[in-house]
Structure 1
Amino acid sequence: MQSSKNIAEVVSHFKCAADVGSQKAYGSGHINDTFLLKNVQPSGPDYLLQRINHRIFTNVEKLTDNMRRVTEHLKNKIKEHGYGDPLKEVMTLIPTDSTRFFYKDSSGDYWRMFYFLSDTKSYDVVKTEKQAYEGGKAFGKFQAMLCDIPAGEIFEVIPDFHNIQKRLQHLDEAVANDHLGRVASVKNELDIVAKYAASMQYFQQPEQVATLPKRVIHNDTKFNNVLLDKNDEAQCVIDLETVMDGYVAYDFGDAIRTIINTTTEDEADLSKIQLNMPLFNAYVKGYLKEASKFLTDAEVNSLMKGALLLPYMQAVRFLTDHINGDKYFKIKFEGHNLQRARAQFQLVKMLDANAAAMHNTILNEMDIYKTAQY
């Protein structure tokens, strides 16, 4: 926990009325540190203060400009189309006293602030079909509202973020270095990596590169990055630091990764990892309700490829970090990243066994929306 003195110094540079003494850690993110601060005025909005992990997000100025541009675009879309209240449905950055939207403190740490969206909730594990459907709608609508930003105009915050060839290269480098001597204990996991490696490079195939459009997407669509209101209806998509160009299937795949799993992403008992098909079906319905308006046939055909790739890629990333000494993801105990990797590999196996049927569900649902549009 940051000291109140340090938090007070940071907060003093933002145009807000935060009660520094009310700070408490908030959320379950792996990368940044987030604190909830109450407003000194009881009727005023509360705040989220985040310390940005600048070892990962190395260009904080460009990152912040991305977030500012995207949130403004989303707010304008909501206003234009009468979707609802832009202050509730989009995160709002708070400026500093220098009119920037981030602050660098004397220790070299970077900070940003948002208004806290009250009466909302997020879920690490999806419980109901309604939650899954609303999550699908939220991410589908998010993509639809951003699809008119041309590719290439948003700064690439983390180069090759979803390039599996690069992720596999990083794993190979970690294995070759093995500076903590952990490789000998992960031979089974490395065999799984090798088994699927070729098929997971679908999005790097020349035919797909030529056919699939790059779009501005979220790139981190874990279900807990959707805020639902008190009625479990989607209100806002959050955690926008990885918004940049990519394939829509990446967002679809990461959402399915966290929605379809019957347990948590770091489940130690692999027998508990099963596929909740009703939740998958509900998410597909919600997603295509919004995304069917702009998706090409090639993109629709790629969605299930994304659903296979993202848990595989996440497993590769967890395994790489474990071998390297847990430098990227926060861990709660020794071996946590390895446990995460094993759980994600198990999920890949389950998805692979059911991929054909799941792809047909997507196509059938897309046909329903196509028919309704004509």
Structure 2
Amino acid sequence: MSEPQDPAPADSRRRLLDIARRFLGDAAAPLAVAPLGDGLINDSYRVQAPAGAFVLQRLNSAVFPAPERIMANLSALADAAAAHPELGVRLPALAAADGLAYVRDADGGLWRLMECIEPSRTLPALERPAQAAEVGRVLGRFHRLGASLEPAALAVTLPGFHHTAGYLAALEATAAEARLDDAGRDTLARIGARRDLVSVLDEAVARGDTRPRPIHGDPKLDNLLFDPAGERALGLIDLDTVQPGLLHHDIGDCLRSCCNRAGEAGAASARFDVGLCEALLSGYAETTAGLLSATEIDLIVPATRLIPLELGIRFLMDHLQGDRYFRVRHQGENLTKARRQLALVADIERQAEAVEAAVRRAFDQTHGPGR
């Protein structure tokens, strides 16, 4: 197998090959390395080796202050999956080098090599309710697996993640020092008009209506693998944000991503598909009967509004701070993304009664009428 040239400089390519071989243990093995995906945080590469295909990643230490914690969480999750095969949670296997699941490069960067689950694909959008139900089942099985772990068994990999009030405070402090154009001022005003929504989950925790559990943290459509036909969901990938959190963070983010007919990169006129929402939650309820209380089920609709609002806050803040967190292809992209998320919030609000009814129907199947 030849080692084809790629657009990266030769010294960078040699470094990637050297790091991959530290995991694979064969200095003479022919390898092909190519950039993989459009991830916003980590650097990712596909490695083709005689033993199969792998994903090589350098974790972004500017985002994750203690990347070793990520690797410890992945090990704990893999142990739980091995102890509960009946749940059918598919996780990419990690390669080891010198007894560790990661290596350090000369600059101190942390790299990992993991199985590339094949054959598989991601979907640009959900086209049918059956696909949405598959997504719900995969997320439900993952939450069932998380329920087998104590939250304290997992380290916090991303401090402040999903602390919406903290994001809003940081945004307002940034905006006070920034020069906003008309679009920026309008976006900030739309966020401010929903200030009452920002603490809805924090207040629920304070009342004892819900509690922290292990979560995925980023179950968007891009992080869901399907079979080649796009019919059966295989599992969740991108597990860097696995840590203690609220199930509603995952549910809201999954619905936000999977039920927007305009897509993640679609037009500002987002459209929340209530039919896909009901199908996804029906699949979730099918695999998680008894996991959520009736009060927690009632929090799903507020959470589904909150998560795109939170992401809109984060996109706008990054735009005002010079695009330091999310990678962008052009100036202003994060502002556009913020406005898309707020358009989605508005569409969910417009259909509030229909979304509430869809949630009730989805969970009535497993909890009974009235839950």
Q: Normalized against structure 2, the TM-score is what?
A: 0.91
1:158 match: secondary structure: coil
The corresponding residue for 2:173 is: 173
Residues 156 and 35 of structure 1, relative CA distance in 2, 3 Å threshold: same
SS in 2 for 1:27: coil
Equivalent residues of 1:124, 1:224 under 8 A apart: yes
CA 1:146–1:46 in 2, change beyond 3 Å: closer, same or farther?
same
Pick closer, same or farther for the CA change 1:50–1:128 going to 2, 3 Å.
same
Matched letter for residue 191 of structure 1: A
Residue 40 of structure 2 corresponds to which residue in structure 1?
30
Q: Secondary structure at the match of 1:125?
A: coil
Deviation at residue 77 of structure 1 after TM alignment? 1.1
| Structure 1 CA distance for aligned equivalents of residues 320 and 169 of structure 2 | 14
> In 2, distance between residues paired with 1:38 and 1:341?
37
Q: Equivalent residue for 1:141?
A: 141
Secondary structure of the structure 1 residue equivalent to 2:114: strand
CA distance in 2, matches of 1:16, 1:135: 36
CA deviation string 1:10-59 (max 9, x = no partner): 113213569665111112221111111111x2xx3211001111110110
1:347–1:20: structure 2 CA closer, same or farther, 3 Å change rule? farther
Q: Report the Cα distance in structure 1 between the residues aligned to 2:53 and 2:67, rounded to whole angstroms.
A: 24
1:345 deviates by 0.5
Amino acid at match of 1:219: G
Letter paired with 2:234: Q
Alignment of 1:163-312 (within 5 A): 163-178=163-178, 181-182=179-180, 185-205=183-203, 208-231=206-229, 232-267=231-266, 269-271=267-269, 273-312=270-309
- When residues 308 and 106 of structure 1 are mapped into structure 2, their CA distance, relative to the original with a 3 A threshold, is same
Q: Which stretch shows the higher mean deviation, 18-27 or 229-238? A: 18-27
1:312-351 to structure 2, matched below 5 A, reads: 312-351=309-348
Cα distance between partner residues in 1 of 2:183 and 2:111: 39
**Residues in 2 aligned to 1:50 and 1:186: alpha-carbon distance in whole angstroms:** 34
Judge conservation of contact 2:80–2:148 (CA < 8 Å) in 1: no
CA 1:205/1:11 → structure 2, altered by over 3 Å: closer, same or farther? same
Q: By how many angstroms is 1:76 displaced? A: 2.2
Partners of 2:37 and 2:208 in 1: CA distance: 39
The 8 Å contact of residues 17 and 33 in structure 2, kept in 1 or not, is answered as: no
Give the letter for the 2:232 counterpart. Answer: E
Tell me the CA shift for residue 370 of structure 1.
2.6
Q: Distance in 2 between matches of 1:196 and 1:333?
A: 28
Residues 57 and 158 in structure 1, CA contact (< 8 A), matched pair in contact too? yes
**Identical-residue share of aligned pairs (%):** 23
Distance in 2 between the 1:291 and 1:105 partners? Answer: 42
Q: In structure 2, what is the Cα distance between the partners aligned to 1:325 and 1:276? A: 33
TM-score normalised by structure 1 residue count: 0.90
Specify the alignment match of 2:117 in structure 1.
117
Native 8 Å contact 1:183 1:323 kept in 2:
no
Runs ≥4 residues deviating over 6 A: none
Q: In the TM superposition, what is the alpha-carbon distance from 1:182 to its structure 2 partner?
A: 4.1
Q: Which amino acid aligns with 1:255?
A: C
Question: Conserved in 2, the CA contact under 8 Å of 1:203 and 1:209?
Answer: no
Determine the structure 1 residue equivalent to 2:81: 74
Paired residue total: 359
Q: In structure 1, the residue corresponding to 2:219 is in which secondary structure?
A: coil
The structure-2 alpha-carbon separation of the partners of 1:12 and 1:102, relative to structure 1 and needing over 3 Å to count, comes to same
Q: Which runs of 5+ in 2 are unaligned?
A: 1-7
Tell me the CA shift for residue 278 of structure 1.
2.0
Distance change in 2, residues 1:344/1:72 (3 Å): same
CA deviations over 1:210-266 (Å, ceiling 9, x no partner): 221211011111012111112420112111110111111110100011111112223
**In 1, distance between residues paired with 2:223 and 2:344?**
20
Q: Residues 7 and 20 of structure 1 are in contact (CA less than 8 Å); yes or no, is this contact kept in structure 2?
A: no
Distance in structure 2 (CA, Å) of the matches to 1:20 and 1:312: 47
SS in 2 for 1:152: helix
Q: 1:333 to 1:296 in 2, by over 3 A?
A: same
> 2:96 matched to which residue of 1?
95
| 1:54 pairs with 2:51 | no
